[in-house]
Amino acid sequence: MTDSKAQDHVLIFDTTLRDGEQSPGATMTHEEKLEIAAMLDEMGVDIIEAGFPIASEGDFNAVSEIAKRAEHSVICGLARANAADIDRCWEAVKHAKQPRIHTFIGTSPLHRDIPNLTKDEMAGRIHETVTQARNLCDNVQWSPMDATRTEEDYLCRVIEIAIKAGATTINIPDTVGYTAPRESADLIRMLIEKVPGADEITFATHCHNDLGMATANSLAAVEAGARQIECTINGLGERAGNTALEEVVMALKVRNDIMPYRTGIDTQKIMNISRRVATVSGFPVQYNKAIVGKNAFAHESGIHQDGMLKNAETFEIMRPEDVGLAETNLVLGKHSGRAALKAKLSELGYNLADNQLKDVFVRFKALADRKKEVYEDDLLALMRDSSSDAEHDRIQVKFLRVICGTEAPQSADLTLSIDGVDHQTTAQGDGPVDATFNAVKTLFPHEVNLQLYQVHAVTEGTDAQATVSVRMEEDGKIATGQSADTDTVVASAKAYVNALNRLLVRREKTAPAAIA
Ligand code: KIV
Ligand code: ZN
């Protein structure tokens, strides 16, 4: 096994920035991708799949920049089975201290039909493309997409070809999330036994969660001999998502008694990266999500609380601090100073430069004036609005005043800065939010399908901030936006504009064909 440091070491391959970001609506900005990559690098992820370089200029630039900056992780880019994709991928990853090319083709009967290749023609293509990748880079990963629905004899044949052509990692994707744990293990075991050269390479497992079995399938594959798990933070990914990094890593740590494998992940960094990915992707973490959900360590029922007070192990199989959850939800208020804010933000994973802190502090003070107590969740919501790229957004909300009451129609007086120039209008609508969205449409004309408009209170009380999520669609491209404010209409306007800015970025992307 070329890549594994030891037989019990399981490599963690994170694809949040590729398979995760491919999820409709999860588009991240360039700066956000760099930030997430830096956090992955620092937390001990072995391989970061940083993107799909041929998909767009933006993807290419992000992969190149991540490659230049990575300190420890291998930086990998994705390429379909053709010369142009592989060349472009190499151009992006070649800057890394440790580059990897990941090339793939769909090998199941259904996927073979898409490029309309016979089995022999596809085998030839695999030989050519893996050889090309290996001539460029010493570290090559090959994936037979939809492996779990590919005929076993054909799967063995093409994997042998890829190994002979120089692949150093063979990834076995369960592209449609169809496999069950026993099958996942049997498949890896069969490949290790039957494919000549299998003991020279690392087998990886790449599971999708359509039946909720991605974590179980990945762990079963490891028990059968796979030594690389492909996963994403929060299980982000298309449809039901990918294997969640935090779940497999914590399962291997907590149940090391029956799964004696190690990863290099600093688990105390899990919570912060989970929050950041939720923020930048616009995909909130479900409250009862394993490991990183808001309720994962909350013990509210009387029996539980009583047991916890006597001995935390009564109901806790891992300690909150193991995943980086601070024990206290320290409250800040309007008398809290810059140092207290800085310390709290750093605990939450935001290490701000002085100029950034200055800006956030002004916003914090404004919030503390309106709200007596500022909780962690308030700060996280505040940081969503202070995302590093907001100042580069083409459209920004400058001023908003609405007139609402029992008499319709309601109206909104709105000023937007568009490409640096202020534009003002007054629009009417069926309620203040509708009037505000109409005003945005007047100032920046666009046709989108508003798929979701959701409001949540961040904390309790009538002075609580509202977090608003908006999802919009245009020609099959989806973008989400979020914002928080003690004024629900202001939060709505900002969330809408945030989604619109993301849609403008997404317009520039060409959809990569045939990838799950
Ligand atoms: O799910 C899948 O098959 C993929 C491949 C590109 C590895 O994401
Ligand atoms: Zn996938």
pTM above 0.75, yes or no: yes
The reply to whether 146 falls in a domain is: yes
pLDDT at 483: 85
Task: Specify the residue with its C-alpha closest to ligand 1, atom 1.
Answer: 175
Q: How far is CA 386 from CA 417, 488, 510, in A?
A: 17, 17, 29
Bridging pattern class, strands 140-145 and 74-80: unpaired
CA distance 357 to 361: 6
User: Percent of the chain beyond pLDDT 70?
Assistant: 91
CA atoms of 349 and 344, how far apart (whole Å): 9
Q: Residue for token digits 């991540």? A: 66
Mutate to test the pocket of ligand 1, among 54, 114, 206, 210 (most ligand atoms within 8 A of CB): 206
Q: What is the DSSP string of 98-132?
A: SEEEEEEEE-SHHHHTTTT--HHHHHHHHHHHHHH
Query: Do residue 223 and residue 86 come from a single domain?
Result: yes
Domain range spanning residue 305? 297-325
Kindly report the protein residue whose alpha carbon is nearest to atom 4 of ligand 1.
516
The whole-chain average pLDDT of the chain stands at 90
Residue 473 lies in a domain: yes
Q: How far is the CA of 230 from the centre of ligand 2 (A)?
A: 9
Q: What is the pLDDT of residues 419-431, one digit of tens each?
A: 999 999 999 999 9
Q: Residue 113 above 90 pLDDT?
A: no
Q: How many CB atoms lie within 10 A of CB 153?
A: 9
Any ligand 1 atom below 6 A from CB of 515: yes
20 plus 152 within the same structural domain: yes
Ligand 1, atom nearest to 104 Cα: 6
Sequence-ordered list of residues with C-beta below 8 angstroms from that of 298, at least 6 positions apart, any chain: none
- What does the pLDDT look like over 153-184, one tens digit per residue? 999 999 999 999 999 999 999 999 999 999 99
Inside any domain, residue 286: no
Say yes or no: CB of residue 173 within 6 Å of ligand 1: yes
One domain, residues 354 and 427: no
What is the C-alpha to C-alpha distance for residues 311 and 296, in angstroms, rounded to an integer?
A: 18
For the Cβ of 387 lying below 6 angstroms from any atom of ligand 1, the answer is no
Task: List residues, by chain if needed, whose CB lies under 5 Å from ion ligand 2.
Answer: 19, 516
Instruction: Kindly state whether residues 201 and 266 are assigned to the same domain.
Output: yes
Q: Report if residue 196 sits inside a domain.
A: yes
Predicted confidence at residue 4, as pLDDT, reads: 46
Q: How many domains does the chain have?
A: 4
H or E stretch at 356: helix 354-370
Do 235 and 367 belong together in one domain? no
H or E element at residue 437: helix 432-443
Does ligand 1 lie within 6 Å of residue 175's CB atom? yes
Q: What is the CATH number of the domain that holds 479?
A: 3.30.160.270
139 pLDDT more than 50: yes
Could you tell me whether strands 47-51 and 74-80 are parallel, antiparallel, or unpaired per DSSP bridges? parallel
Q: Which ligand sits closest to the CA of 143?
A: 1
Cβ 206 under 6 angstroms from ligand 1? yes
Shared domain check, 314 and 350: no
Does residue 516 have its Cβ closer than 6 Å to ligand 1? yes
Q: Are residues 119 and 219 in the same domain?
A: yes
Is 292 part of any domain? no
Indicate whether 247 and 126 sit together in one domain. Answer: yes
pLDDT at 191: 98
Looking at the structure, tell me whether residues 316 and 348 fall in a common domain. Answer: no
What residue owns the CA closest to ligand 1's atom 5? 145
> Residues 236, 129: one domain?
yes
SS3 content of the chain, % helix, strand, coil (to 5): 45, 20, 35
* Nearest ligand for residue 171 CA: 1
Same-domain check for residues 397 and 432: yes
pLDDT per position as a tens digit, 365-419? 888 887 777 887 788 878 866 544 566 789 999 999 999 888 888 999 999 999 9
Give the tens place of pLDDT for each residue, 53-69. Answer: 999 999 999 999 999 99
Same domain, 315 and 382: no
